[in-house]
Structure 1
Amino acid sequence: MRLGLVSGAHPPKLRSHINHRVYAELHGLDYEYDARRYENLQTPHFHKLMAVLAIIESYDWVMWLDEDAFFTDFSFDVTGLIRSEPAEVFFVACKSPISPQGGWTFLNSGVFFVRNCTSGRKLLSDALSVPNRRSTRNGNRNSTAFSPEASRRTSSMCCIGTICWTT
């Protein structure tokens, strides 16, 4: 299984790419920092979708890491999180944590995995075309509403709830 790691922002804000690159090199993974400027994004958060789409054809899976996500245990192998996922699973993300104010979003989009398959690429493309609607549901006024047209199953991964989309 080939896993590619990607992170980025335009303009770059943090130096987490050093942490990400060192982790990738230690585990024999490819890493790309995407600082490209993408035109006509609904919000800067959509940059991650474009960055993943830009490299997905070269890998079986792509892992996105937000700029504010850091590896702290360099011995942990992230490929173990997706290695045993059945072929019908094409997206894996953690459930969103609840903020101290009680707000939450459906999923934590700061770190996720997408399989290079028709369904995985379609999810990313469809997410880019979702109208920009602000949601105040669950007390989080800053989350963008997103309801993928896919079934999901929940499981646990490293004692953290996850959401997996399947075909």
Structure 2
Amino acid sequence: MNRTMSLGPKISDWDSRRSSRRRKIKQCEKRMMLVTSSHPKPCENPLGDHIMLKSAKNKMDYCRLHGIDMFYNVAKLERSLPGFWIKIPLLRAVMLSHPEFEWILWMDGDALFTDMTFRIPIRKYEGYNLVMNGWDHLVYGNRSWTGLNMGIFLIRNCQWSLDLLDILAQMGSDGPGSVGIGKILHVTLFGRPDLESDDQGALLWLMNAQRERWGAKIFLEHSYALSGFWVPLVRELEDKMRRFEPGLGDDRWPFVTHFAGCEFCEGWANYSPQDCRRQMERAFNFGDNQVLEMYGFRHPSLNVADVDRT
């Protein structure tokens, strides 16, 4: 492990410092902030920026409807943490700058809210500090790399979380250490490709290696679609509209649809780029209808951007 990596000065008394700072903040305490990020430069794919704009609008709509603050980042805060690791220093910076927020909701740019009325059951997570889509038998039984998902998660603003971010930063810093950790993750985790270290694999490894310290405070949520995988969901959206109503949050009317495996900005994808773009447009329109109907409009079809009066 590369132990030279640091997110900043070591903090060990954040819970007490945060409590003191919160008392000094005049505004009312806010429960949650959504944090997301996109590339600091224009997308190589000419349609990528347009898709990211719609993704940002989707998140702003949900936050506005539910009284959630939002922070949209386009800066790379730590050069030694590449790619998807950008969330680690960003989350730490948000926590330290906003002690008034109890929870931070991280959401990848390739994920959309598709149930605009579903509310996160935050009281359900008392006693936990991290909530993500996952299954215990896959995480602890099979050690499956896909047993959880780091694309969308809730993390509590507390000392435990800062300690976890510090350790993940060490496991993700660029360089030879990252390659070595990637090899360890590849060997010890089922179904993980032989790649450099990644945040999802690193967290899964920590949960198994130090379950009492980390796993005990992590809630693996699967009662609703905190990170619904897009492939089985989006092709049946019309059927869901006919049979169900929003507010369910599960596969019948998914809370979040995550386009994992698609790459909208850099031009490559694990799936057909055309299919990724088309299905994300459909999922966006599915969520957008729930907003537009408040103003008397609706997309006549999920396949078009046009709207009609209702």
Partner of 1:67: 109
Matched, 1:138 2:138: no
What residue in structure 2 maps to residue 152 of structure 1? 215
Are the equivalent residues in 1 in contact too, given 2:133–2:153 (CA < 8 A)? yes
In structure 2, do the counterparts of structure 1 residues 41 and 22 end up closer, same or farther at CA, with 3 Å as the change threshold? farther
Unaligned runs of 5+ in 2: 1-29, 42-47, 139-143, 172-176, 228-310
What does residue range 100-139 of structure 1 map to in structure 2 within 5 Å?
104-130=145-171, 131-132=177-178, 133-134=181-182, 135-136=185-186, 137-139=189-191
Q: How far 1:155 moved relative to its partner? A: 5.2
Show the 5 A alignment for 1:4-43: 4-11=33-40, 14-15=52-53, 16-43=55-82
Query: Which blocks of at least 5 consecutive residues in structure 1 are unaligned?
Result: 163-167
More strand by share: 1
CA distance, structure 2, for counterparts of residue 39 and residue 50 of structure 1:
7
Instruction: State the alpha-carbon separation in 2 of the partners of residues 159 and 26 from structure 1.
Output: 19
1 CA distance for matches of 2:224 and 2:64? Answer: 26
Given that residues 41 and 47 in structure 1 are in contact (C-alpha distance below 8 angstroms), is that contact kept between their aligned partners in structure 2? no
Q: Confirm or deny that 1:47 pairs with 2:86.
A: yes
Give the AA of the match of 1:11: P
Task: Measure the CA separation in 1 of the matches of 2:124 and 2:191.
Answer: 35
Q: Are residues 63 and 159 of structure 1, via their aligned partners in 2, closer, same or farther at CA, if it must alter by over 3 Å?
A: closer
Distance in 1 (alpha carbons) for counterparts of 2:150 and 2:63: 20
TM-score (norm: length of structure 1): 0.78
Q: What CA distance in whole angstroms lies between the structure 2 residues aligned with 1:20 and 1:160? A: 16
Name 1:56's counterpart in structure 2. Answer: 95
| CA-based RMSD | 2.7
1:61-83 deviations in whole A, cap 9, x for unaligned? 101000001000100112x1x32
Residue by residue over 1:96-135, the C-alpha shift from the partner in whole angstroms, topping out at 9 and shown as x without a partner, is 8x9xxxx843521100111011001111121111152223
Paired residues in the alignment total 154
Asked if the contact 2:131–2:221 (Cα under 8 Å) also holds between the matched residues in 1, the reply is: no
In structure 1, C-alpha distance between the alignment counterparts of 2:70 and 2:130, rounded to whole Å? 19
Contact 1:9–1:47 under 8 Å retained in 2: no
Native 8 Å contact 2:133 2:220 kept in 1: no
**Inter-partner Cα distance in structure 2 for 1:159 and 1:23:** 17
More helix by share: 2
> SS where residue 60 of structure 1 aligns?
strand
Query: Which one-letter code corresponds to 2:35 in the other structure?
Result: V
Larger radius of gyration: 2
The structure-2 alpha-carbon separation of the partners of 1:128 and 1:155, relative to structure 1 and needing over 3 Å to count, comes to closer
User: Matches of 1:71 and 1:126 in 2, distance apart?
Assistant: 30
Distance 2:57 2:224 in 1: 27
1:85 to 105, 125, 129: 125
